[in-house]
Each structure stands twice: as structure tokens, then as C-alpha cells.
Amino acid sequence: MGHDHRMKRRQFIEMGASSIAAASASGFLLGCAGQALEKPTTAAVVPSADAPRVSYFSRFGVDEGMIRDGLADALSRGADHADLFFQHRVSNGLQLEDGEVNRAYTRVELGVGVRVVRGDQTGYAYTEELTREAIKRAAQTAAAVADGPARPAPKALAVGAALPQRYTLDVPWDGIKPAQKLPILDGVNAAIFKMDGRIKKVSVFFADEAGAILIADSQGRLVEDFQPMTVLYVSCVAEQGGRKETNGYNVAGRRGFDFYSPETVGRVVREAVARTTVLFDAVPAPAGEMPVVLAAGSSGILLHEAIGHGMEADFNRKGTSIYADKIGKPIAQPFVNIVDDAAQPHARGAINVDDEGNPAGTTTLVDKGVLATYMHDSISAKHYGLKPTGNGRRQSYQHPPMPRMRATYMLPGPHEHDEIVASVKRGIYCQSFSNGQVQIGAGDFTFYVKNGFLIEDGKLTRPIKDVNIIGNGPRVLERIDMVGKDLVIDEGGWTCGKDVQSVPVSQGIPTVRVSSITVGGQGGTQGAKASAKG
Amino acid sequence: MTNEAMLQIARNAVSLAKQKGAAEVAAVARVKRDVDVTWRDGKLEKITEATSRGLEVRLYVDGRYSTCSTSDLRPEGLASFLDNAIGLTRTLAKDPHRSLPDPALYSKATPEGLSMADPKIESITALDLRRTAQSMEEAARSVKGSEAILSVTTNGYHSWSETTQVHSNGLEASFAGTEFSISADVSIKDDDGRRPEEGEYAWVRLYADLPDVAAVGRRATERALARRGAKKAPSAVMPVLIDNRAAGRFLSYLLRPLTGAALQQKRSFLEGFVGKPFGSDKLDFADDPLLPKGLGTRPFDGEGLAARRMPVFEKGVLKNHYIDTYYGKKLSMAPTTGGSTNIAWKLGPKTQAALALDVKEGLLITSFLGGNSNDATGDFSLGVQGFVIRGGKIAEPIAEMNVSGRHVDVWKRLIAVGNDPFAYGTSRTPTLVFDGMQVAGT
């Protein structure tokens, strides 16, 4: 529960069942709450696209009068903006270990956060007691950031235009009993052991989550959204000749029970086994600068770290990002186009609306090699005199929003996958990743490669594993000199951390070549001076 | 909410769950109040203030197990919550290894003199934190060379929290703790367009142990200015010093595979090393949950096991794993404790500067950037920044570099540790000196 200063300055991304399971086991660390503990009745309360109306007042036990009272107290010292963010999120986790689904985790979060904004200053407070008095108290605490005469609360609250419906579920989770979920975990476990005798341990973590949010602000806007999520993390340990290796695979998305088709489960099993057992053939990765080819899909981690965080507008309005002052300037080859997209259907990083109630669409970060648009929340948008881009997100009602990524990916380019691999005389090919991190101001970033291959004379040869790659954002973008046609949005369960807040994100990329970047292998520096052809 | 009220809530959860069919129950009630004030470039940036509370219940039902958490602390809300959770538990597979801990291992009485909670916190307001943050910024901007500063962000934070634990087989215990922290982060403009950022922080249990606010601000700027002109150096195998503030991260990769879960799940490169040499004789530390004023100090662990000092490595020989009740049963090992607290190192005689003199040529790592470590095999690869050591002196800054190796090899190369345990973290690491590590750069 420590307030860890090392975390405050970290911007990172990671995946892994252990962190999720740990969080679920002690939900209070992430913020758990609950007054109304009814399981969300998903089907009945999904906002209708046809007739905008508020369906969540009863879920939170509030009415318009209580909300307007809260807003009035939030504006009692004359702020520019105030909002109330109500959240009710129920997470159900199941874990299989040593062949049995023998532990479950349930977490209920319910509460309201009150934000008061004056210029770029934020006052924030929250409460888990959804009573008129408790909301007023939180609002008065948050209002301390301002010091002027009171502003009137909106006379009426109204629901705006209908939201897009990017994650409507065919088979919602609230109708699914635990006994129907257990076979997913048991099936994955049995299939993995059947597939390869070298597998000694399998751990499977499964979760479904139902999240409802209701946002009311000082302009009188009311917005609500229902945000489902599911994840399936599989991790294997294999043994061969006294040597152990571990790896896995995972899938996630804003999806329902129908997501776990035999095809999805089969893919998870095959990938988990293949990515683990290939490591027995791994040779030490080289150390030093060399050409690196990134496989289509989860290699989008490069974009998340090399440019994504640096394009979050809060760092730029503060002048602390290496991309501050670079809008409109060429930073990459003309075939490099990078977006941050809220609209990928059912993606883990998809949102219908952001956590400030602003419409969320597609933000173009790099347009034909030219730095185009930062990702904004309402504070940074106001600072720059622009419209918000729908990137204002938060971990929960316990946190104020800030500019965050959603699904960050590069659009397809002109090159063929095989042509890209064939162009490298001596380098590495990166296939799967566990985590990455960036320094916003210096621009240095890293990502950790769980498995990949050496490229020798234009061919993928021996596997490599456990190697960190480190580069500098703008310099690496300049060195992306080939981009494939084969864009893949990764289906993995990525979580992005920034200023101690975690949010779910997605990422993707076509096959790309970086002409030179530092590879942190253990295999000595031989071959480090080799370069790419073409 | 008072201690008595939280105790009552935990007791009620235990008795209610037993009524509803749980064979055994553990309930942990927590309440936390925190105030967090951020100041940036001459004005308030953000202030957050809140009290949160929650209840975690571990259920043992018909030989099955689950955990659930909520903050609905009203009796009627709790009833339906437990009904659902017990129903869910009954659908799971039986697990013969699940049970509450042996009551003989429970905490009998709270040890005296831990100095975990400071009543002074009652008299410190958000306005005080704001003034603290403001003076840190002024100090940060008073340093020579401060015209290169792009932005200064400072923070003042404190929290008070209380944990109350009730188990159906005879545990009722609680403890409270406070934390105070201050930090300053400074961004500066470098000639090549980079905007390096560095900072300084302090994090303590008792208010009086906070260092001089102005010194923290000045040190943040000095650290940031020292990053100017950072370059990548050539790849090579060389001696490496890890600064005491950064070394906790490196140590965490040694602690992670020491858990019972890692051992039983075959995810530990430390399997089979108990009683055998693993590292050099300089690898020598204990886990000390009873350290007065320690940031990891606690009278009992998450399972209610009474805290006690435990040797982890002695002269490079592994002495103990972190074993909780569940994995202890699976492994047929006696439980120790589920996780690390304060690490108490056997310190060396020398300062970091003296250690650099001994090394003569090498690398000083001042922070890690990303990277990871494979708990099963011990392979690691980590991004680093720091300084070149030349002629025994700290020389020019380096960035965008990486170190890699295998823990089983690298800890044998630990040739010295400093006399400088880092006070503002639980790892309490001194400067670590390794005589050869693969460094990747150009």
C-alpha cells in the first residue's frame, strides 16, 4: 500500500496474470467499494442508441437533484469546470493451478469522484458513500482548488447525442453462471498438457468484468456507458533435459461469453505451447546496435513507448515531452502513419466515450510522417485552444482523468513481410513481449522481448529470448525504413501505467524494420556492427 | 472510522459467513486517509484528498476457497455479498491445501517500539503540504544553472491507514501506520533537443524524519543538470556499480522467485539452493519486519502470522524462502511469511565514492528503464542510465544503454557492498558492486 515515488515517474505497459490475480485478491489496493451490490443487470440498462436517456440513476441510488447539489458545491468557489464520475464495476476472476480451478476472486467497486478544474489546476475528492451529504462533502473538498465567487450549478442536466456502440455483447456475462465458465479453464489446461509432454505447469487466469459509468458536468451534460471486459491469461512452465522455460499467451477484449469459441481457445493453447517450447532452442541474443524487424501485432508496444506517451498532451503543455514543439514537423518516412483509436470494435482499449464524457474517435498522431495531433483531455485541449480528442481516461472513481492512449497502431505501409525479413543480413526479429517503459523527456524507451529469432542472411534462423531493446523515440521513428502491408491489432491483455493509474489499452503494427537500435543481449558484441541492406 | 468500529465490521463478516455455511473465514478491514498535493511551476497543479475503506473476506467452504472484496460495510449489504461469494465458492474444485494458518503462529501481542504511526499527522493540513511543495520548487530553482529548467513539479503527500484482521480460528489483531513523503522532479533542456528529467524524494514513517525540504529541491535540480549531454557508450563487459537508490529494483528480481508460489510452480531459479552457496559472500541480508520506523514494518503478515526476523542470504548461502501457509502445505515446508518487508543488509565499510575509486573503470547505474527478468531461468536484461566511472571518478552521463546476464552468474560477481543503505524504500539497498556485467550500447 506504499505510496511509491518510483511509480510516480514511470510510464509503462505490461501484461501478466500474476499482477491481475494479485490485484483481484486484494481489491482494496485498486480501490474497492460497494453500497449497492446488485450484480449489474447488463441487458436491461445498456443505454439505448435510439432514445438517449439516463438509465443509471437507480443503479447508483442517486437522482438529478443530488447531482445538481453536488455540482453546486463543486462550483462554490468559482471553478471553470466541475464533474461527478460515478462508477460501479464488478470483476469476477477464476484461477486454475495444478489442474484445478480452485480459487475465485470477486471485487466490487462503487463510488463517485468529484473533480473541480480551474485553468489547468485540479481539485479532486471521492467517496464510496453515495449519499447527498457525502457527495456534498467530497465536492466541497475538491472545490478548495479554487478561490473565487460561486458559480451557479446547471439548471438542468441533459443526455447528449447517442453514443456509438462499439462493444455490444451477443452473450453478456450476467446471464452466465460460474459453472459455465469453469470448462474454459479446464479445457485450456487439458489441451496444453495433451499437446506437449514437456509442459510441467499450467496456470490459467480468467476474468469477466462489468463496468457502468455515469458522468455529470457543470455544462449540464449527462453521459453514461457500460464497459464490459474479459481476459484469459495462460502461462506455462516446460522442462527439457533439466532446463526450465516459461512463457504463455493471453487474449482480452470488451467481449462476451461467445468470445471463447473453440477457435479462440485453440489459438490460445497453440500459441502458449509454441511460445514456451521454442525457448529450449534459444541461443543468446547479441548485444549492441543492429537492425531489428518487429513482427506484426504486439510489436505495437514500440509505438506505445516510442511515441504514444510522448504525445499525451499533458507532458507537452508542461513542456516536458521530447515531442513538445514538434507538431507539424516531419519525424518519420512519409509511409509512416500512426493513430490512437477508440473505435476498434470490441478491442480492450476501445471506448464509446472517454471518462470526461467527451466523444472518443480516432486521433492521428503521425500523418504521412508528419507529427499531427497530441492526445488531449479537456484541460490540455483548453490550454491549446483545441477540441478534446476523447483521450481523458482514469483508472477508477478514485482518480482524476488525464490524457491516455486507447488502441495505438500504425497503418499498413508499402512493403511485403518477406521482403522486410530478406533485407536484413544480420539482426533480430521480435515476436512477443512482456513489458515496456519510456522516459518522456529524454525520449529513451525500452521493450522486453520474450521470444524472437536471429535474422542471418535474410532468413529467420535460431530462436532468441529474454532480451530488452532500448532506443530513443524520435531517433527510432526516423529509422523505421520499411513498413509492411500486414497490420495486426494485438488481442492481448495490455495494461498501461502512468502516475500510478492503470488503464486497459490495445496496440498494433504491421511488420516493420528499424534500421538500427540497441539490443541488450548476453551473447557478446559480435555482429553488432552489421547493418541492413537497402 | 474508529479501530473499534473496524474490528466490529470484521467480526460481523466472520460470524455472518460462518452462519451462511463457511467452515473457516478470515476478514481484513482497512481504512486509509490520504492527502496528495502537487505543485508545478509556481502554482498548485492538483490536490486529492479522500478516505477510503474496504473489507476483504477469505472464505473456506466445503474444502473450497475464494476471496472477495467490497466496501459496503453495512450489515444488510454484507449479507447478500457473502451469499453470492459463498455460492461461487461452492462451484469450485476442492483444494485440500487450503486452510487458515496454524493459530500457534499468530501474533500474540503487538510488539512495542515499532514506531509505525505518527500522531503528528492530525495537525498537518493540505495547506501545509502546499507550502512544503512550493518551497521545494523555490529551492529547486535556486541552484546554479537553473536557467536550463523547463519545468519543476513537486509533491507533498501523507497517509494514515489501519488494518484490522479477524480469523475464525482465533485471531483478532490490528495495526496503524503513517507515511509522509516529499518529492521534486525537474525537467531541463539539453542541447540536442532532449529534455532529461530527474528527481529526488524522501519517504518516511514519522514526520520528524523528513529531510530538509530545500535540500530535496536543490538535489533534484543537481541530478537533472548532471544528465545533460548523456550519450550511449560502446558495448562491453565491465565492472558495474548500482547506486543504492536504484539497487532495490535489481534486488526485486532476486526476491520475486523466493516465494512459495514461485518455488511450487517451478518458476524459480533459486529452487534447490537452501543451504547452498548462490552468490558471493557479500550477498548477505535478512528480512526484518520489526525494524523500528521501517517502511515495510508490520507486526504480522497478511495471513496474521507473527512477524519475525528471517535470514535470507548469509555469506551467499540461501537460508530461507518466503513461504505462506498454502504453498507451505503444497511443498511440505513450514510457513515463514508470504512476502518481503524491510531488507536488512550486512553492510560494507566503504562509501560509494570509495567503491568507485576501487573499481577505477566501469559504469555507475543510477536508474533502470524497463527490462525484465525471467524468474524460472534467471536471465535478465534491463535498460539503464547512469555515469561512466573513469580513473575512479564519476565522469560523463550515459543513456540508452542496457545490462544483461543471468542471476546465477552475476550474484557470484558481487565483490562489494557500500555502507549506504537507502533509507526511503523497503529494500534498504547499499551501493552494489559487480565485477563484470554485459553492457550494451553502440
- Same domain? B364 vs B419: yes
Could you list the residue range(s) of the whole structural domain that residue B60 is in?
3-33+48-102
% of chain A surpassing 90 pLDDT: 80
Note whether B187 and B291 are same-domain residues: no
Report the distance separating Cα A256 and Cα A222, nearest Å: 27
Per the CB < 8 Å rule, is B232 touching A518? yes
pLDDT digits (tens, 9 = 90+) for A444-497: 999 999 999 999 999 999 999 999 999 999 999 999 999 999 999 999 999 999
Residue B40 lies in a domain: no
Confidence of residue A530 (pLDDT cuts 50, 70, 90): very low
pLDDT at position A13 is 75
Query: Across all residues in chain A, what is the average pLDDT?
Result: 88
- Interval A243-293: pLDDT, tens: 999 999 999 999 999 999 999 999 999 999 999 999 999 999 999 999 999
Residues of chain A in contact with residue B182, where contact means CB-CB under 8 angstroms, are none
The answer to whether residues B151 and B15 belong to one domain is no
Rounded to whole angstroms, the Cα distance separating A500 from A486 reads 34
**Does residue B42 lie in a domain region?**
no
What is the rounded average pLDDT of the residues B187-195?
A: 92
Chosen from B228, B293, B381, B401 to mutate, greatest number of chain A CBs within 10 A: B381
Model pLDDT for residues A288-323, shown as the tens digit of each residue: 999 999 999 999 999 999 999 999 999 998 989 999
What does the pLDDT look like over A135-166, one tens digit per residue? 999 999 999 888 889 999 999 999 988 899 99
Q: Kindly report the length of chain A.
A: 534
- How close B62 gets to chain A, by Cα (Å)? 12
**Which A residues 426-465 touch B at CB under 8 Å?**
434-448, 465
Q: State ipTM.
A: 0.94
Which among B200, B225, B250 is the end of a domain? B225
Residue A61 has what pLDDT?
85
Per-residue model confidence (pLDDT) at position A10: 66
Euclidean distance between CA atoms B373 and B391, whole angstroms:
32
Mean per-residue pLDDT, B222-233? 96
Cα distances (angstroms) measured from residue A392 to each of A399, A406, B343:
12, 10, 39
Q: Indicate yes or no: CB of B402 within 8 angstroms of CB of A244.
A: no
Q: In Å, how far are A176, A230, B392 from A181, measured between CA atoms?
A: 8, 12, 62
More confident: B79 or A86: A86
- Residue B112: inside a domain, yes or no? no
Q: State whether B53 and A128 contact (CB < 8 Å).
A: yes
User: Per-residue confidence at B376, pLDDT binned at 50, 70, 90?
Assistant: very high
Among B88, B230, B400, beta carbon nearest to A178: B88
For A93-102, A203-212, A525-534, B200-209, which range has the lowest pLDDT when averaged over its residues? A525-534
Q: How far apart are CA A361 and CA A407, in angstroms?
A: 11
A246 contacts in B (CB within 8 Å)?
267, 374-377
Q: Look at residue A47 and tell me whether its pLDDT is greater than 80.
A: no
| Three-state SS at A442 | coil
Check if B90 contacts A (Cβ < 8 Å). no
Residue from the list A106, A200, A525 with its beta carbon closest to the beta carbon of B68: A106
> Which of B69, B267, B426 comes nearest A32 by C-beta?
B69
What is d(CA A145, CA A79) in angstroms, rounded to the nearest whole number? 8
Nearest CA-CA distance, residue A436 and chain B, Å? 5
Residues B134 and B59 in one domain: no
Do residue B251 and residue B361 come from a single domain? yes
pLDDT of residue A529: 41
- Chain A contact present for B301, CB below 8 A: no
CATH number of the domain at A31-281, please?
3.30.2290.10
User: In this structure, is residue B305 part of a structural domain?
Assistant: yes
Triad B199, B204, B208: Cα angle to 5°: 110
- Output the average pLDDT for chain B: 95
CA-based nearest distance A300→chain B, Å: 16
Together in a domain, B368 and B285:
yes
CA-based torsion, B259, B265, B266, B271: positive or negative: positive
Q: Band the pLDDT of A347: cuts 50, 70, 90.
A: very high
Q: What is the model's pLDDT at position B108?
A: 79
Examine the domain organization and report whether B347 and B219 are in the same domain. no
Among B182, B204, B225, where does a domain finish?
Answer: B225
Task: Specify the higher pLDDT residue, B71 or A451.
Answer: A451
| B201, B163: one domain | yes
Same domain for B215 and B85: no
Q: Is B342 on the interface with A (CB under 8 A)?
A: no
- What's the number of domains chain B is made of? 3
Distance CA A293, CA B269 (A): 31
B22-39 pLDDT, tens digit per residue, is 999 999 999 999 999 999
Q: Which of A182, A207, A202, A205 is nearest to A192 (CA)?
A: A202
pLDDT of residue A55: 76
Are B290 and B419 part of one and the same domain? yes
Is it the case that residue A48 has pLDDT exceeding 50? no
The answer to whether the CB atoms of A288 and B441 lie below 8 A apart is yes
Give B336's pLDDT tier (boundaries 50, 70, 90). very high
The answer on pLDDT for B180 being more than 90 is: yes
Average pLDDT score over residue span A161-185: 94
Between A1 and B293, name the one with better pLDDT.
B293
The contacts of residue B104 (CB under 8 Å, 6+ apart) are none
Amino acid A314: pLDDT: 92
> CATH number of the domain that B214 lies in?
3.30.2290.10
Residue A9: the pLDDT is 54
User: Model confidence at A50, in pLDDT bands (50, 70, 90)?
Assistant: very low
B26 belongs to a structural domain: yes
Asked whether the predicted pLDDT for residue B82 surpasses 80, the reply is yes
pTM of structure? 0.92
Domain regions of chain A by residue span: 31-281, 287-520
Question: A125 exposed, middle or buried (CB, 10 Å; 0-12, 13-18, 19+)?
Answer: buried
Name every chain A residue with its beta carbon within 8 A of the beta carbon of B65: 102-104
Residues B311 and B413 in one domain: yes
| Averaged pLDDT, A384-403 | 96
Answer yes or no: are the C-beta atoms of A206 and A243 closer than 8 Å: no
Determine the average pLDDT of the residues in A359-388. Answer: 96
Average pLDDT over residues B254-277: 97
**Which of B197, B225, B253 lies at the terminal end of a domain, its last residue?**
B225
